[in-house]
């Protein structure tokens, strides 16, 4: 069925259904993945529903496609429900397009799947480049023979223990690759469908090297850096995994539970051109460690239990504590990261540009929390002035010849009623109590003349809205070259920054004030007492409204000092890590806060790529 060239004859019910599904697949690919299909025939096809993410393997899909001609390349991106196929000629791809649309196949779990095909100009190869192994990680294949493997597996008695002689044999196999002679052995068996959660082995408990021998079945283990980069590593049968340095101390490791997993035809590579599905077997691991006798002094203090002197700050119980939290985890942080932060603020957001462009010529506009002045020069017909709490950011604005000054957003030294419009982009969410957030909104309104308008953006708790993920959640594979662009505070982009793994339960602190609190006039910010603020994990959904979001400082020659007590984390650069406080807003919460103000009307409320936004007018 061809959605691009519909036939002249009347479609039957089944054909209409297939056509609707094909068009829906086309729109879904564009909306969620940014994959744009074309209306003319090319050599390249995108096959919706024919991906590793919904259980279709390369072994299963390739023969189906090859019925219409040789397939030059079959790209199956990890975890995605689609694939790309490239034929040698356009005629061959057209045959596949016409014949396979609406065709039913059975996946490796026995479920029926219907394929929907569309033409694309080119396959999306760029985002899926091979990744290097984490620093300090080694995988040595065939460390023992298949006979030795059988002997070791038979020696394991799950009720009485394991033969010490065989354990010593395992240790001898490891000695060539480690410095510390292990004195602890843990043997685990994993049935298909079982997994282990991502974790870092306790620093103070064991020495640098952790060594694991995989027997019985191969497995894909995921290694995740605090900035969100994930590297899947295939551990073949009879291979030895050696974790030292950064891979042992900073990267989490674990594996998920599916009966099938994505792997490659080759060994230890992430070349997506070779990805397929493999069925899991029973895996037995022999893990060797050396018990540490002295405190750990590694280069990663934030995730080191020996060096972490202080825990994350608690949720503030009063205005004084809130002010102190903002001083340490907002104001001081932006002073330190100003240059690096400014280097990531380039592209203005369309809805904000539209708001500024629509204002009458000659309007006086205040940008409260202007950062590096990204929006101060958008409309040359306006008289714009900016202010920010950060002296260093204001200095950057002045370098750009913008009018800006230093002040607190709760007390702007500008006459009441003197502005035709105000904007507040990614500022209100830095205030630590509901009362202080409302006070910041009231200060914006004070600056406006009657009839003046304000545009407000805050981070959203809902990073998936109307079944569409924000760019923040969608960007689960970001190349090293793009990291600094993503190190943003998402002022309007909703792209959260490099982040550290949780040290406590992410759910340990929850929201402050609910929508009902605003509506009932309570504004009670003391919902959670003595709760530690969780550290948000990169490119994941929020589990708490009040979080610390880390910023990894890089490439800043002017700022090389570290901050205490909780602003520092080790990194292999080594780069200091700063933690910024955020209150992420639930749907309706920003509106409810604005409705507590007596002299405003809400003109518009909307969601923009991970942000809740309001345009209000002073009456």
pLDDT tens, residue by residue, 12-66: 777 777 777 778 777 777 765 667 888 899 999 988 888 877 778 888 888 899 9
Share of the chain above pLDDT 70, in %: 74
pLDDT range class, residue 573, cuts 50, 70, 90: very low
Going across the sheet that includes 219-224, the strands are: 196-199, 252-255, 219-224, 230-235
Q: Hey, how many other C-beta atoms are within 10 angstroms of the C-beta on 519?
A: 12
Mean pLDDT of the chain: 77
Strand partners, 278: 261
Q: Give the sign of the dihedral formed by CA 498, CA 500, CA 502, CA 508.
A: negative
CA distance 427 to 440: 9
> Regarding the domain delimited by 13-119, which CATH topology (the fold level of the hierarchy) does it fall under?
Alpha-Beta Plaits (3.30.70)
> Nearest Cα to 404, choosing from 396, 425, 361?
396
pLDDT at 538: 61
Per-residue pLDDT of 424-469, as tens digits, reads: 999 999 999 999 999 999 999 999 999 999 999 999 999 888 877 7
Fold of 320-462+587-618: Rossmann fold (3.40.50)
Identify which of 589, 499, 514, 511 has the alpha carbon closest to the alpha carbon of residue 548.
499
pLDDT band at 9; cut points 50, 70, 90: low
Instruction: Report DSSP state, residue 20.
Output: H
User: Could you state, in order of their start, the residue ranges of all structural domains in the chain?
Assistant: 13-119, 137-155+176-303, 320-462+587-618
Residue 495: both structure tokens together: 């792209």
Residues 6+ apart with CB under 8 A from 520: none
The confidence score (pLDDT) of residue 529 equals 43
**Pick the residue with more confidence: 184 or 279?**
184
Query: Greatest CA separation found in the chain?
Result: 87
Please answer whether residues 458 and 611 qualify as being in contact, where contact means their C-beta atoms are separated by less than 8 angstroms. Answer: yes
Write the CB contacts of 10 (distance below 8 Å, at least 6 apart in sequence).
none
User: Could you give the 3-state DSSP secondary structure of residue 239?
Assistant: strand
Please tell me the distance from the alpha carbon of residue 378 to that of residue 179, in angstroms, as a whole number. Answer: 59
> Average pLDDT for residues 371-380, to the nearest whole number?
95
Q: Tell me the pLDDT tens digit for each residue of 511-564.
A: 333 334 444 333 343 344 447 888 887 667 888 999 998 887 765 434 333 333
- Of 119-128, 161-170, 474-483, 494-503, the poorest mean pLDDT is in 494-503
- 572 pLDDT band (50/70/90 cuts)? very low
> Which tens digit of pLDDT belongs to each residue from 327-359?
999 999 999 899 888 888 878 999 999 999 999
Report how far residue 483's alpha carbon sits from residue 552's, in angstroms, rounded to the nearest whole number: 10
Assess whether pLDDT exceeds 60 at residue 589.
yes
Asked if CATH classification 2.60.120.1520 holds for the domain at 137-155+176-303, the reply, yes or no, is: yes
What b/e string do you get for 78-96 counting C-beta neighbours within 10 Å, with b at 16 or more? Answer: bebbbbbbbbeeeebbbeb
Token reading at 294: 């002295």
444 SS3 class? helix
Task: Give the distance, in angstroms, between the CA of residue 260 and the centroid of all CA atoms in the same chain.
Answer: 24
Mean pLDDT within 477-492: 34
pLDDT band at 422 (very low <50, low <70, confident <90, very high): very high
Mean pLDDT of 80-105: 88
**What integer pLDDT is reported at residue 198 of this predicted model?**
80
Give the model's pLDDT for residue 536.
Answer: 83
Given a cut of 50, whether residue 318 has pLDDT beyond it is yes
pLDDT of residue 335: 92
Region 127-155: mean pLDDT is 82
* Mean pLDDT within 287-302: 88
Q: What are phi and psi of 581, to 5 degrees?
A: -80, 135
Helix, strand, coil percentages for the chain (3-state, nearest 5):
25, 30, 45
- Mean pLDDT for 404-424 is 96
pLDDT reading at 387 higher than 80: yes
**Residue of 149 and 444 predicted with greater confidence:** 444
> What is the predicted pLDDT for the residue at 280?
58
pLDDT tens sequence across 206-220? 899 899 999 988 888
By the 8 A CB rule, do 360 and 453 touch? no
590-to-260, 354, 466, 514, 586 alpha-carbon distances in Å? 44, 21, 18, 10, 8
> Tokens 């792209």 belong to which residue?
495
The listed range with the strongest mean pLDDT (6-15, 175-184, 240-249) is: 240-249
Which tokens hold the place of 430? 């830095």
3-state secondary structure of 401: coil
Residue entry with tokens 């190190």: 487
Q: Which of 253, 248, 376, 375 has its CA nearest to residue 300?
A: 248
């Amino acid at each position: 069925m061809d959605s691009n060239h519909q036939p002249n004859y009347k479609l039957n019910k089944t054909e209409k259904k297939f056509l609707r599904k094909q068009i829906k697949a086309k729109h879904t690919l564009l909306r969620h993945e940014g994959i744009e299909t074309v209306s003319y025939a090319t050599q390249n096809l995108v096959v919706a529903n024919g991906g590793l993410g919904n259980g279709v393997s390369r072994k299963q899909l390739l023969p189906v496609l090859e019925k219409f001609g040789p397939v030059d390349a079959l790209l199956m991106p990890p975890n995605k429900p689609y694939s790309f196929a490239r034929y040698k000629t356009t005629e061959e791809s057209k045959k596949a397009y016409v014949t396979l649309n609406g065709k039913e196949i059975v996946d490796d779990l026995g479920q029926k799947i219907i394929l929907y095909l569309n033409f694309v100009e080119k396959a999306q190869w760029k985002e899926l480049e091979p990744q290097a192994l984490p620093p300090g990680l080694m995988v040595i294949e065939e460390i023992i023979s298949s006979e030795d493997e059988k002997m070791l597996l038979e020696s394991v008695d799950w009720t009485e223990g394991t033969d010490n002689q065989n354990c010593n044999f395992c240790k001898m196999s490891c000695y060539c690759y480690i410095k510390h002679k292990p004195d602890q052995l843990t043997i685990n068996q994993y049935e298909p469908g079982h997994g282990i959660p991502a974790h870092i082995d306790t620093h103070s408990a064991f020495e640098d090297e952790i060594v694991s021998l995989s027997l019985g079945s191969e497995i894909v283990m995921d290694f995740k850096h605090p900035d969100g980069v994930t590297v899947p590593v295939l551990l073949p049968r009879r291979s030895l995994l050696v974790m030292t340095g950064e891979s042992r101390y900073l990267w989490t490791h674990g594996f998920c539970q599916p009966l099938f997993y994505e792997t490659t035809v080759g060994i230890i590579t992430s070349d997506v051109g070779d990805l397929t599905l493999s069925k899991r077997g029973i895996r037995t691991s022999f893990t060797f460690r050396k018990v540490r006798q002295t405190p750990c002094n590694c280069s990663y203090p934030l995730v080191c239990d020996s060096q972490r002197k202080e825990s994350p700050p608690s949720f503030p119980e009063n205005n004084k504590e809130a002010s102190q939290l903002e001083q340490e985890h907002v104001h001081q942080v932006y002073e330190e990261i100003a240059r690096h932060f400014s280097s990531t603020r380039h592209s203005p957001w369309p809805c904000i540009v539209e708001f500024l462009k629509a204002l009458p010529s000659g309007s006086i506009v205040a940008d409260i929390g202007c950062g590096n002045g990204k929006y101060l020069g958008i409309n040359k017909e306006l008289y714009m002035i900016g202010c920010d709490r950060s002296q260093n950011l204001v200095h950057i604005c002045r370098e750009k010849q913008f009018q800006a000054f230093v002040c607190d957003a709760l007390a702007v030294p500008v006459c009441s009623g003197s502005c035709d419009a105000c904007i507040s982009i990614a500022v209100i969410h830095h205030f630590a109590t509901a009362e202080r957030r409302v006070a910041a909104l009231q200060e914006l309104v004070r600056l406006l003349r009657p009839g003046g308008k304000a545009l407000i953006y805050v981070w959203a708790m809902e990073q998936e809205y109307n079944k569409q993920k924000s760019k923040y959640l969608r960007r689960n594979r970001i190349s090293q070259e793009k990291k600094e662009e993503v190190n943003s505070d998402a002022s309007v982009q909703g792209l959260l920054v490099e982040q550290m793994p949780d040290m406590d339960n992410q759910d340990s602190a929850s929201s402050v004030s609910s929508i009902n609190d605003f509506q009932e006039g309570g504004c009670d910010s003391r919902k959670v007492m003595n709760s530690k603020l969780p550290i948000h994990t990169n490119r994941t959904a929020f589990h708490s409204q009040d979080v610390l979001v880390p910023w990894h400082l890089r490439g800043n020659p002017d700022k090389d000092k570290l901050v205490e007590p909780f602003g520092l984390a080790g990194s292999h650069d080594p780069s200091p890590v700063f933690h910024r406080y955020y209150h992420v807003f639930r749907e309706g919460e920003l509106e409810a806060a604005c409705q507590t103000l007596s002299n405003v009307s809400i003109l518009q409320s909307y969601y923009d790529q991970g942000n809740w936004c309001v345009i209000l007018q002073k009456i």
